[in-house]
Amino acid sequence: MSAISLKKALSSSGNKAVLKVITILVMIGSILAASFAGQKEQQIFAKGETALIGNRSIEHDRALQEAQRNAVEQGVGVFVNSETVTKNFKLVYDKILTKAQGYIKSYEIISERPDGDIYRVEIEAVVLLGSVQNDLAAIGLLLERKNLPRVLVLIAEENISQRGGAVFSADLSMAETTFLNKLTEKGFYCLDAKTAKASLSRERALKLIAGDQRAAQAIGLEQGAELVITGKALATPQDISDLPQMQGSGFKSARAEITARAINVDNGRILASDSHSEAGAQISEQSAGAEAIRRTSTVLADRIIARILAGWTEETSSTAVVQIHVAGLRSYSDLERFKNVLRDQIRGVESIYQREFALNSARLDVRFAGDAQMLAQDIQRTRFVFCRAYVTSASQNTIMVRIEF
Q: What CATH number corresponds to the domain at position 33? A: 3.30.110
H/E stretch holding 294 reads: helix 285-317
Contacting residues for 377 by C-beta, under 8 A, at least 6 apart: 58
H/E stretch holding 27 reads: helix 16-38
Check whether residue 154 and residue 253 sit in a common domain. Answer: yes
Give 161-166's long-range contacts (Cβ < 8 A, gap of 24+).
Answer: 161/285, 161/286, 161/289, 165/209, 166/209, 166/232, 166/233, 166/234
In a domain, 177, yes or no: yes
pLDDT tens, position by position, 315-333? 888 889 999 999 999 999 9
Contact 104, 138 (CB under 8 A): yes
What pTM does this model have? 0.74
In a domain, 141, yes or no: no
Q: Determine the longest span between alpha carbons in the chain, in angstroms.
A: 82
Check whether residue 376 and residue 306 sit in a common domain. Answer: no
Q: How far apart are CA 75 and CA 104, in angstroms?
A: 9
Check whether residue 94 and residue 173 sit in a common domain. Answer: no
Residue-level pLDDT at 365: 97
H/E stretch holding 366 reads: strand 361-368
Contact 130, 40 (CB under 8 A): no
Residue-level pLDDT at 130: 72
CA 263-267-272 angle, to 5 degrees, is 25
Q: How far apart are CA 236 and CA 335, in angstroms?
A: 55
Q: How far apart are CA 181 and CA 74, in angstroms?
A: 35
In a domain, 299, yes or no: yes
In a domain, 306, yes or no: yes
Check whether residue 211 and residue 300 sit in a common domain. Answer: yes
Residue 250 CB burial class (10 angstroms; 0-12, 13-18, ≥19): exposed
Which residues form the domain of 390? 320-404
54: left (phi over 0), alpha (psi -120 to 50) or beta: left
Looking at residue 45, what DSSP letter applies?
A: E
Q: Domain total for the chain?
A: 3
Check whether residue 313 and residue 329 sit in a common domain. Answer: no
Residue-level pLDDT at 345: 93
Parts of the chain with a pLDDT under 50: 1-4, 6-7, 9-10, 13, 24, 28, 31-32, 34-38, 80-100
Check whether residue 302 and residue 326 sit in a common domain. Answer: no
pLDDT tens, position by position, 278-314? 998 888 989 999 999 999 999 999 999 999 999 998 8
Check whether residue 154 and residue 233 sit in a common domain. Answer: yes
Residue-level pLDDT at 118: 92
Residue finishing a domain among 285, 317, 349: 317
Residue 110 CB burial class (10 angstroms; 0-12, 13-18, ≥19): middle
Residue finishing a domain among 272, 294, 317: 317
Check whether residue 269 and residue 206 sit in a common domain. Answer: yes
Check whether residue 222 and residue 303 sit in a common domain. Answer: yes
What CATH code is carried by the domain that includes residue 273? 3.40.50.10610
Classify strands 320-327 and 398-404 as parallel, antiparallel or unpaired: parallel
Check whether residue 116 and residue 228 sit in a common domain. Answer: no
Check whether residue 299 and residue 381 sit in a common domain. Answer: no
Residue finishing a domain among 101, 130, 159: 130
